Chain A
């Protein structure tokens, strides 16, 4: 039977690296936004002490983890899930789905509507985290793109937005 062969699934190192980078960036941006933006802070305050969540790609990453520490401070906790107690796992079903999200071809809402994500954990917490992700997206993206990424673009004052955006970028890139 020469029409038969067995093949190993390949890999997509570049897409994987891109998504890993974006996750790292978003993770650190959440940490910064929780310090800078009142709404993000309030969302995290509403979650249980020590609450930790992950956002990653199935079947084996990349992943990012963000959690509240004992003092209630929000911290980016890296990519390694081993040994971490994670309350809420948000998993994109495959790398291409993550690429669609992180190249902003699909908003979080559209990705959810298209069943691209699996959510494991309490639903109210998931709702809060999606709201946080939406706000962080608005900070990180130019208005033209962010308008596609969220259902309703917030009517923040210009000055406040620019100030916060600079601080969040500084936090995400430089860890300040």
Chain B
């Protein structure tokens, strides 16, 4: 195991997992000296009956101050301020966020407003602006992928001023994350597949990235092992509780790995594709992951080969000579996409030309690839990628990922 010359690692989130972990909420809040939480969630989550499961798990033991179930997918500062006002009006003293990325970000934003008494959230953006613990925040993820239940970032948009404010602070980390299999049992196959590959990408990029460290390595390996054994299973059979809980664990582990080791070009291009073409994040991750491995291979060959152990299992690993392992890792990821494609009835996309929007039209037209490449140049995750990428490199990768062909190793500049 490598010890880098210097590293930092921090994940102060208490993780509580189980098939009936939600039942622990009253005790958790008591430990955090809170007794009147506000639940923050969105219509989709509430509509799927997940909030009812949470309420059922805490009934009679806890007074819920308010339930805000109308966080929009594209949440912004106005939503944050409105819900902060509701929090105060109802005399709440803690937040429970039930949902995915947008809900988590909104809850973190509300937490800054109500804890710091902020009238202008902007004052608290930027590094080091938050200096003390905020109100208790309990995160309950409803997908197994983003890892935002263990990350320290919140992005809040200000649609009026056309601003995107990023808040980065260890005080934004939830106090507790609850991983309960019931929260993902109703997740459709295609979303299970895409979000699961998002977690896979977090773990793989964390493992070969420039900020890798012993703890991000250990959590990444554990995540990859769990995803390799359970993602196809959960996609094929959504009601498999064990596979669901394993995936919830994997997503949190991968979240810890990448929020401490950061991610590289797969995310750089994924963020850009998302913002230019509106493709869901997990879909981009699944498609681009093999290319991150191929492009960086010459700098990280041995490290990438180690990933074949948690992917292929010990017997196959032992039988495969060292120099073939990276090939097998790349092939494994491609095969996984194929298996997920099959398990989801063809809804899990394997390459960009296969992705369609709500109306069934191609979501990533080939002529938009240059726009995506240009946008990618402005994404911070590029710093943590082992190899340099300029506009031409981004475009080359995008074209291969659009077509679904392997990178031409002769065109990768060393």
A binding-site residues for B, Cβ under 8 Å: 109-110, 112-115, 118-120, 123-124, 126-128, 130, 150-152, 155
Tally B residues with Cβ within 8 Å of A: 25
Distance between B327 CB and nearest chain A CB, rounded to angstroms? 23
- A124 in contact with B378 given A112-B383, A113-B384, A152-B387 (CB within 8 Å): yes
Which residues on the B side are within 8 Å of A109 (C-beta)? 210, 383
Interface status of B8 (Cβ within 8 A of chain A): yes
- B117: chain A residues at CB < 8 Å are none
Jot down 24 A-B pairs with beta carbons below 8 A, ordered by A: A109-B210, A109-B383, A110-B210, A112-B210, A112-B384, A113-B210, A113-B383, A114-B6, A114-B7, A114-B211, A115-B211, A118-B127, A118-B128, A119-B127, A120-B127, A123-B378, A123-B380, A124-B378, A127-B378, A127-B382, A128-B377, A130-B383, A152-B388, A152-B414
Number of A-B contacts (CB under 8 A): 51
Q: How far is the CA of A110 from the CA of B5 in the complex (A)?
A: 10
The answer to whether A127 touches B126, judged by C-beta atoms less than 8 angstroms apart, is no
Tell whether B413 is near chain A: CB-to-CB under 8 Å: yes
A152 to B385, CA, bound (A): 12
The interface residues of chain A lying within 8 Å CB-to-CB of B126 are 120
The answer to whether B379 and A123 touch across the interface, beta carbons within 8 angstroms, is yes
Given contacts A109-B210, A123-B378, A152-B414, contact A115 B384 (CB under 8 A): no
* Closest A residue by C-beta to B6: A114
With A151-B386, A152-B414 known as contacts, the answer to whether A126 contacts B210 (CB < 8 A) is no
CB distance from B208 to the nearest CB of A (A): 12
- CB neighbours (8 Å) of B127 from chain A are 118-120
Q: Do A115 and B8 contact each other (CB < 8 Å), given the known contacts A110-B210, A123-B380? A: yes
Q: Does B83 sit at the interface, judged by CB under 8 A?
A: no
In the complex, whether B262 has a CB less than 8 A from a CB of chain A is yes
Chain B residues whose CB sits within 8 angstroms of the CB of A155 once the complex forms: 413
Q: Say how far B57's CB is from chain A's closest CB, in angstroms.
A: 38
The complex places the Cα of A166 from the Cα of B377 at a distance, in Å, of: 29
Across-interface contacts of B6 in A (CB, < 8 A): 114
Determine how close the nearest CB of chain B comes to the CB of A95; give it in whole angstroms: 16
B414 near A113 (CB under 8 angstroms)?
no
Q: Which residue of A lies closest to B384 (CB)?
A: A113
Are A150 and B388 in contact, with the CB atoms below 8 A? yes
- Which A residues are CB-close (under 8 A) to B380? 123, 126-127
Given the complex of chains A and B, what is the CA–CA distance between A112 and B8 in angstroms?
A: 12
**Chain B residues with Cβ under 8 A from A119's Cβ?**
127
What is the CA–CA distance of A155 and B126 in the complex, to the nearest angstrom? 37
Chain B residues 42-73 with CB under 8 Å of chain A are none
| Complex Cα gap A157–B59 (Å) | 73
A26 to B414, CA, bound (A): 27
Identify which of A110, A119, A124, A152 gathers the most chain B CB atoms within 10 Å of its CB: A152
**Smallest CB separation, B238 vs chain A (Å):** 37
B155 to chain A, nearest CB (A): 11
Q: Which A residues are in CB contact (< 8 Å) with B384?
A: 112-113
Task: Output the least CB separation between A125 and chain B (Å).
Answer: 8
**Nearest chain-B residue to A123 (Cβ)?**
B380
Q: How far apart sit A126 and B127, CA to CA, in the bound complex (Å)?
A: 14
Binary contact readout B75-94 vs A (1 if CB under 8 angstroms, 0 otherwise): 00000000000000000000
* Chain B residue at minimal CB-CB distance from A43: B377
**Please, what's the 1-or-0 string for B363-388, where 1 marks a CB less than 8 Å from any CB in chain A?**
00000000000000111101110111
CA distance A120 to B380 in the complex (A): 12
Chain A residue numbers with a CB within 8 Å of B128 are: 118
Contacts known (A113-B262, A119-B127, A152-B388); A127 close to B8, Cβ less than 8 A: no
Closest 9 A/B residue pairs (Cβ): A124-B378, A152-B388, A113-B210, A151-B388, A113-B211, A123-B380, A118-B127, A114-B6, A112-B383
Minimum C-beta distance from A110 to chain B (A): 7
| A126 CA / B377 CA spacing, docked (Å) | 10
Contacts of A124 on B, CB cut-off 8 Å?
377-379
Contact A127 B210 (CB under 8 A): no
Is B387 a contact of A151 with CB atoms below 8 Å?
yes
Q: Which residues of B contact A126 (CB under 8 A)?
A: 380
How far is B164's CA from A124's CA once the two chains are assembled, in angstroms? 12
What residue of chain A has the Cβ atom nearest to residue B393's Cβ? A152
A86 to B39, CA, bound (A): 39
Closest B residue by C-beta to A105: B5
Least CB distance, B383 to chain A, in whole angstroms: 5
List 20 additional A-B contacts (Cβ < 8 Å) besides A127-B378, A152-B388.
A109-B210, A110-B210, A113-B211, A113-B384, A114-B5, A114-B7, A115-B8, A120-B126, A123-B378, A124-B377, A124-B378, A127-B377, A127-B382, A127-B383, A128-B377, A130-B383, A150-B388, A151-B387, A152-B387, A152-B413
- B-side contacts of A114, CB under 8 Å: 4-8, 211
Assembled-state Cα–Cα distance A130/B388 (Å): 12
How distant is A129 from chain B, measured CB to nearest CB, in Å? 11
A120 to B168, CA, bound (A): 11
